Amino acid sequence: MSRIGKLPVALPKGVEVAVSDKNVVTVKGPKGELKQPMDTAVTVKTEDGKVVLTRATDQKRHKALHGLYRSLLAGMVKGVSEGYKVEQELVGVGYRAANKGQLLELTLGYSHNVAFELPKEIKVTTAQEKGKNPTIILECIDKQLIGQVAAKIRSLRKPEPYKGKGIKFAGEILRRKAGKAAGK
């Protein structure tokens, strides 16, 4: 059996899991609701405050789907109960971030400002304290969506290896390179 797939997903207080006829799993919690279509090879059962996934056969494809859907379901349960939070730092002289609703305005050393429109499911806040790098804080219940948006924001100005300037995740350790050696 799949090592990840066989683990039951514990349901926190206030979280409900329902499966429709078309094999669509709906997870409702205090922070919202998420839906995920599932393959017919994997069945979902709720028992004793836990969700257990089983697969139809021991085919390689079914084993892979078993672990995949268990991980997706665990991420959905965590999202609707606690939510996800991603912090990013802007490292560089003159780099700034400001938000007006769902529009993120970034000054990243280009000749123009970059405007980034965020999906309505994501809540964004920006902070700029004296002596610290400007930060962007993203909050959402959908793990896949918040990761994709954070990666897209980071791709606007990736951290470079010499000075470390760019957009990086909070706590991310960058591999730095030595500059060119001085002459004689």
Residue 26: what pLDDT? 95
Q: In terms of CATH, what superfamily is 9-81? A: Ribosomal protein L6 (3.90.930.12)
Q: CA-based Rg of the chain, rounded to a whole angstrom?
A: 21
Strand (E) or helix (H) holding 69: helix 60-81
Question: For residue 64, how many other CB atoms are within 10 A of its CB?
Answer: 14
Tens digit of each residue's pLDDT (9 = 90 or more) over 72-84: 999 999 999 999 9
Residue ranges of the chain that CATH labels 3.90.930.12: 9-81, 84-169
Residue 30: what pLDDT? 95
Question: For residue 175, how many other CB atoms are within 10 A of its CB?
Answer: 7
Those residues with Cβ within 8 angstroms of residue 109's Cβ, 6 or more apart along the chain or in another chain: 92, 94, 95, 157, 165
Residue 145: what pLDDT? 96
**Mean pLDDT for each 10-residue chunk of the chain (184 residues)?**
83 92 92 94 91 91 92 95 96 93 94 95 94 95 96 96 94 90 70
Token look-up 């919202």 returns: 32
Q: How far apart are CA 26 and CA 45, in angstroms?
A: 12
Residue 12: what pLDDT? 93
Long-range contact list for 24-27, CB < 8 A, 24+ apart? 25/73, 25/76, 27/73, 27/76, 27/77, 27/79, 27/80
Residue 22: what pLDDT? 87
Residue 1: what pLDDT? 46
Residue 184: what pLDDT? 62
**Class of 84-169 per CATH?**
alpha beta
In our burial notation (b when 16+ CB lie closer than 10 A, e otherwise), range 29-50 reads bebeebebebeebbebeeeeee
Instruction: Give Cα 131 to chain centroid, integer Å.
Output: 28
